[in-house]
Amino acid sequence: MADRRSFLVPKHIHELRPYIAGKTIEEVAASYNPKRISKLASNENRLGCSPLALEAAQRSFDTIMNYPDPAGTNLRNKLAQMYHVKPGNVIAGSGSEGIMSLIMRTFFLDHEEALTSSGTFIGFIVLANSRGIKLNQVPLTADYRFDLDAIADSINPYTKIIYLANPNNPTGTYFTVEEFDRFIKRVPENVLVILDEAYFEFASDQPDYPDSMRYRLDNVITLRTFSKAYGLAGFRIGYGFAHEDLITNLMKVKLPFEPSSPAQAAGLAALDDMPFLQKTQDLVIRGRERLYTLFDHMGIKYVKSHANSVMMVMGNEEESTNLTEFMLKEGVILRRLQAFGLPDCIRVTIGLDSELDHFEGVLRRF
């Protein structure tokens, strides 16, 4: 039987290393039973979620026996209106990662290749590997930034999709208007660029941040999400913008009834919740500054972030393992980054003041 089953599984799936999420609160409680738990591992919104979104999702339960609107009409119309594009330029999906998966299924031929940086969002790496295509990764610069010139240098005749996260996870760094303008001039029109802006709400105040919605590029797909700034990660709702032809073809491949109706309703209402967005942005800005001051004081290296997390750079892999293990036993869940190719680094999500107090107390004891 075993032979028969392996025969059924393609080699690239056999060899696929799945995405491993951070530890859950329940797992940590069961293993260590700490007095309190602060989950600072998954770049979630520690304030909770937009209350307007939650109310709208609850109202959608009245019609939960019906299938969702396959076109996601209300949400796409609203996004189109907000960003001055046509609804035909907008797609909604099961998280921005759901749309990413759709892109991989829609546009790749088997012999084509994907290109990105090392030290970036693992979700994309898993999707590329599960599609069985060749994935090329260019090293980060010494200061943990995307090297767009080197990525452009690595485009070859088989390159089909380039994935860029701006700001990047887990480093929190962003590339500038100048860097992006230089880069995009070198990308042929038959190469598709995924601009993953999952954290753009935490960087768009930077004057040199290249907000992709200010460009109109026919070979760029912008991806954004309600998971971070609006705290809707559990609903699985994200959105994207692209040329109408690309969206039309993505819509053909999309599962007809994703995203779910509560997710669509929550996303639509979240877009009106400016007070919640502002509170989230304030928390993140304050939290980042607090961590910089703490790390400076303790002589810990870190990378300045424009996302809702800060990456600590420990002396070596052993130190990063020891610290994350020590934190875990004390109920602080952090993200080690060996799977991202950064074994000496740790990512800390910006938490509530009380959660950062918890983190700081344990760090000082360590």
Ligand X SMILES: Cc1ncc(COP(=O)(O)O)c(C=O)c1O
3-class DSSP assignment, residue 193:
strand
Q: Name the amino acid, one letter, at 9.
A: V
Please, what is the minimum distance in Å from the beta carbon of residue 91 to ligand X?
13
Please, what is the minimum distance in Å from the beta carbon of residue 225 to ligand X?
3
Dist CA 249 CA 263 (whole Å): 22
The residue sitting closest to ligand X, measured at its beta carbon, is 95
Q: Name the amino acid, one letter, at 8.
A: L
Positions of E strands within 113-231: 113-117, 134-138, 159-165, 192-196, 220-225
Please, what is the minimum distance in Å from the beta carbon of residue 199 to ligand X?
7
CB nearer ligand X, residue 211 or residue 319: 211
Please, what is the minimum distance in Å from the beta carbon of residue 144 to ligand X?
15
Please, what is the minimum distance in Å from the beta carbon of residue 339 to ligand X?
13
Please, what is the minimum distance in Å from the beta carbon of residue 168 to ligand X?
7
Residue 318 Cα distances to 106, 313, 322, angstroms: 42, 12, 6
In sequence order, the 6+-apart residues with CB closer than 8 A to the CB of 278 are none
Dist CA 38 CA 49 (whole Å): 17
CB nearer ligand X, residue 93 or residue 331: 93
Which residues in this chain contact ligand X in the complex, by CB under 6 A? 43, 95-97, 121, 123, 165, 169, 196, 198, 225, 227, 233, 238
CB nearer ligand X, residue 34 or residue 170: 170
Burial state string for 127-142 with b = 16 or more CB within 10 A and e = fewer than 16? bbbbbebebbbbebee
CB nearer ligand X, residue 34 or residue 101: 101
- Sequence-separated contacts (24+) of 9-15 with Cβ below 8 Å: 10/132, 12/129, 12/130, 12/132, 13/130, 13/132, 15/129
Please, what is the minimum distance in Å from the beta carbon of residue 49 to ligand X?
13
In this structure, how many other beta carbons lie within 10 angstroms of the beta carbon of residue 154? 16
CB nearer ligand X, residue 34 or residue 119: 119
Please, what is the minimum distance in Å from the beta carbon of residue 3 to ligand X?
36
Dist CA 75 CA 24 (whole Å): 31
Please, what is the minimum distance in Å from the beta carbon of residue 97 to ligand X?
3
Q: Which residue has the tokens 């942005």?
A: 281
- Cα torsion angle, 208, 213, 216, 218, sign: positive
CB nearer ligand X, residue 198 or residue 268: 198
CB nearer ligand X, residue 173 or residue 227: 227
Count how many residues are written for the chain: 366
Token pair in block for residue 92: 């909604």
CB nearer ligand X, residue 212 or residue 227: 227
CB nearer ligand X, residue 137 or residue 227: 227
